[in-house]
Structure 1
Amino acid sequence: MISNLGLPYQGIGSWTYEINHFLANNASIDVVLSPTDQPNSRFIFCKKKPWHKWHKINRNYFLKKWVAGEYIQALLKLGEAKHPLQILVIDDQVLLEAVALIKHRLPPGSSILFYYHGHSLSWSSSLQEKVDRVLFLTEQGYLDTIKNLERFTPRVHVLGNGIDPSLFFPISESVKRERKVEMGWGSEDLVLVWMSNSRPVKGLHLFQQMIPYLLEINDSIRILIIGNKESVSDHPRVVQAGLISGEKVAYYLQMSDFYFFTSLWKEGFGLSLAEAAQCGNYIITSANGGIPSVVSEYPRCTLIHKPNVLEEWIEEFRSILEANNWKTASLANEGSDFYSLEAWEKRLLEILNN
C-alpha cells in the first residue's frame, strides 16, 4: 500500500479511519509505504518531496528521482525478491504516475491498483495502460469517467466507503431530547447540522448566507456547524463545534434532525452523508458528482439540482417542514448495507485476493 498520509493515521480524517481499521484487522497488506511516525518492518517511512521550479525541464526524471524518489527506491528494493508486487496506491495521482513510470522495472506479473477518492478521472492513454485496476467510490464516478474520455482501459471496481456502525447509529427520540437539553436547547428544538471544512467548494459561504433565512422559518431551529474554525455567525441559535473527533461527530449527528451538505463540486462520495444517514438525519444535499449514488437508497433525502441558487435550499427546507412528513417511525437507514464498514472491508479483501 502506498499513501501520501502517514499510516496508521493519527489525526482526524475521512478515509483514513477505514484504512486504519483494515490494516489493523487484515494481513493482506504486507508493506505500507507512507510518511509514518511508527516505522517498522511493515510500515516503511517514505515521504514526497516538493517540486522544484525547474521540474518541467524533465518532469519524469524529477518525479522518479526526487518527488517520489523514496517510494520508488522502496518499491525497487521490495522487487529484488523477484516476487510479483501488487501495489495499491491510495488516492495520490502523482505517486501513481511515478509508480507507473517504473512498472517495467518491477518483477513480471506485478500490478498497480488505484483507490480513487475523487469523482471522475482524466488520464492519458499511457497512464491507463500501466494501471491494472481502478477502485471508484461510486458507479457514477466510473460512468462519468468513460463518458468524458474516448478510451479507458483499466479494470474497474466500485468499492465505496465504510461507515463504522459502532459509532454511527440512530438513537431513541428520548435520548435525542436529553442531548438537546444538555446543549442548552429545548428538547423539541429542530437541529440542523452543516459539516465540512471552509474550502469554497464545500459551500460554507453559501450556507452562511442561508443562516438568517433558515432561522426565520421557525424559532425552534438551532444550527450546529462542525469542522470550520473561523466564526460564521454570532447568532445565539448558531453553535460552532470546530474540528472534532469522529466520536464527537457521531454524538452530534445522532442528536440532529437535518443535515445540510452544500458541496459545490463533483464529490467522489461525501462520507459525511452516509454518516448522517446512519444516524437517521433528514438530508438536504446538492446533486453533485457521486452524491446521488450515495443516497440513492436512503428515503429521507432531498437533492438540490441548482445548488448555487440560495432560494432552492431555503424553499425546499420550508416545504419539507410544512409537509411535516420528514420524520418516520424508524430512524435506521432503510437502504442496503453497502456502506457499512464490514461490507466495505469484505469488498476490498475480494479485490485484493482476485
Structure 2
Amino acid sequence: MPETVLLSQYPLPYHKLGSWTTLYMNYLNTDHQIDHIICEKPIKSPLFKNVNYVTFRKSFKFKVIQKITKNTQYQYIKKLKKLIKPGNKYVIQIVDNFKIVPQIEELITAYYQRSDFYIQFFYHSYPPFLSKEKGISFFKFVNEIVLLTKSSATIHEDYYKIKPHNFSILYNGIDSRKFFSISEKEKIIRKNEMGYSGKKIFLWVSQDKPKKGLDLLLKVWKTISEKYPDILLLVAGSTRVIESNSIQILGKVPNDMMPQYYQMADYYVFPTLCEEGFPMSLSEAVKCGCHCIASSIGGVPEVLNYGTYGKLVTEPFSEMAWTEAIEEALKYKKNPYLIPEDIYSINQWVDGMNTLINNAKIKLQRSS
C-alpha cells in the first residue's frame, strides 16, 4: 500500500497562527491518512498520534550549511532520501513550497522510479505564482495541484495553458464546534457582558498590513461614524493607537477567543486590496452568522458564493463604494443572507483530504 509523506515548512503542532497549519492540525486529530511528517522538531507538544515523525533541528551546523549552500531545503531532501525505500510507492504532499519541487525532482530522477511517486502540491494563494517559463517544468513534474477555489483553477489553466485534470479544489474548513452562529437574544447578552450594550458592532480581523485595507476602512469609518453614532468598529490583529469613541483596538487576539467576537459582531468587514485564496477570517465570520461585506477580489467572491452569503464590493479601492456598502448594510435589522449550517465545515475538509489521498494511491497502484 502506498504511504503518504507530508513535507511541512512548519513544525506540527505549530505554536503560532496559520491557516493551513491549523487545517492540518485539525486533520491530524482525526483518523487521518498521513504516514510520515518531515518537519523541524516541534516546540509544542504532545505530538500527533499514528504518524511517524522525521524531524531535524535548526542547529548551528544547519545554519552554516544553509548559508554556504544557500539551500534552505537540504534538510528536507536529506530526510526524505533516508525515509524512502526503493520499490515502495509514495504520495508526497507539499504545501506552498515551490523551492523544494526541483530538488525533489532531482532526487527522484537520480535514485528512484518516477512512477513510484505521486506529487500533490497544495497552493494556498490565488494568482499564479511561477512565471510561464518555470511553470512548464513545474507542471510536468507535479501530478496534482490542489487549489482553494474553482476561479483560481480557471486562472491557472488560462495562464499556463494546461488541462483542467491537473487541478483539484479543496475549500478551507472551519471547526464548527467553535465557530457557529448564536441567536439575537444571545448576541445582546454577549454585547452586554463585553460592555458593548446598544452598539451595532463591526469587526475587522487580520494582520495589519497595507494590503489588508485597514487604512481604507478607517478613512471610510471617520465619515460614517459621524452619521451613525451607535456603531462601533472592533479591530483585531492591530496594535495601532487610535483615539476614537467609535473604534476599539483589540490588539492580537488569541485564536480561541475569536469566536466570541465573531458571534457578537453584527457585521464583518473584509476590505482586502490583494488577491487572497480563501480567507480563513472571512470563512469564520460566515460560519458565525455575521453580515459580511468584502472586497470582490481573488477568491473572496467564491467564498461568499458570488453574493449569496454576503455583500461584495466591486470597487474595493473606492472609499465611496465602501461607504455605500456599509450604509446599505445598516438598513437591515438582521443579516439578510441565509448561510447553510454545514458550509465550510472541517468535516468536509477532512473528507476532501481523504478523497485526495485515496485517489492518489489508486493512481499509484494502477501505475504498477
TM over 0.5: yes
1:72 paired residue among 58, 73, 77: 77
Partners of 2:94 and 2:120 within 8 A in 1 = yes
1:165 paired residue among 176, 181, 194: 176
Partners of 1:170 and 1:280 within 8 A in 2 = yes
- Give the RMSD, CA atoms, in angstroms: 2.6
The alignment status of 1:117 with 2:127, answered yes or no, reads no
Distance 1:154 1:128 in 2: 12
Partner residue in 2 for 1:202: 212
Give the partner amino acid of 2:282.
L
Q: How does 1:68-217 map to 2 (within 5 A)?
A: 68-104=73-109, 105-107=111-113, 108-123=115-130, 124-151=135-162, 155-186=166-197, 188-217=198-227
The alignment status of 1:316 with 2:325, answered yes or no, reads yes
Partners of 2:272 and 2:295 within 8 A in 1 = yes
Structure 2: gaps spanning 5 or more residues: 1-5, 360-368
Count of aligned residue pairs for this structure pair: 340
Partner residue in 2 for 1:235: 244
Shift of 1:30: 0.8
Moved more, 86-95 or 236-245: 236-245
Distance 1:44 1:53 in 2: 19
Shift of 1:24: 2.1
TM-score computed with the length of structure 2 as normaliser: 0.85
Partner residue in 1 for 2:55: 45
Give the partner amino acid of 2:340.
E
Greater relative contact order: 1 or 2 (C-alpha under 8 angstroms, separation 6 or more)?
2
Moved more, 39-48 or 26-35: 39-48
Partner residue in 1 for 2:8: 3
Report the 3-state secondary structure (helix = DSSP H, G, I; strand = E; otherwise coil) of the residue aligned with 1:241: strand
Distance 1:6 1:214 in 2: 44
Give the partner amino acid of 1:228.
S
Moved more, 162-171 or 221-230: 221-230
Moved more, 82-91 or 67-76: 82-91
Distance 1:90 1:46 in 2: 18
Distance 2:66 2:188 in 1: 57
Partner residue in 1 for 2:339: 333
Report the 3-state secondary structure (helix = DSSP H, G, I; strand = E; otherwise coil) of the residue aligned with 2:172: coil
Q: How does 1:244-259 map to 2 (within 5 A)?
A: 244-259=253-268
Structure 1: gaps spanning 5 or more residues: 56-61
Aligned CA distance change for structure 1 residues 106 and 298 (closer, same or farther; 3 Å): farther
Partners of 2:306 and 2:312 within 8 A in 1 = no
Partners of 1:169 and 1:279 within 8 A in 2 = yes
Distance 1:47 1:290 in 2: 36
Deviations 1:121-149 (A, max 9, x none): 24421111110001100101101111222
Partner residue in 2 for 1:58: none
Aligned CA distance change for structure 1 residues 240 and 205 (closer, same or farther; 3 Å): same
Deviations 1:102-132 (A, max 9, x none): 2323444211111110013244211111100
Task: Give every structure 1 segment of 4 or more consecutive aligned residues whose post-TM-superposition deviation is greater than 4 Å.
Answer: 38-41, 46-55
The alignment status of 1:35 with 2:40, answered yes or no, reads yes
Moved more, 195-204 or 90-99: 90-99
Shift of 1:47: 6.8
Shift of 1:161: 0.5
Moved more, 198-207 or 118-127: 118-127
Aligned CA distance change for structure 1 residues 154 and 332 (closer, same or farther; 3 Å): closer
Shift of 1:210: 2.1
**Percent of matched pairs sharing the same residue:** 26
Deviations 1:37-93 (A, max 9, x none): 2689722224787899999xxxxxx57xx3210000111112235312210011222
Aligned CA distance change for structure 1 residues 101 and 198 (closer, same or farther; 3 Å): farther
Partners of 1:33 and 1:45 within 8 A in 2 = yes
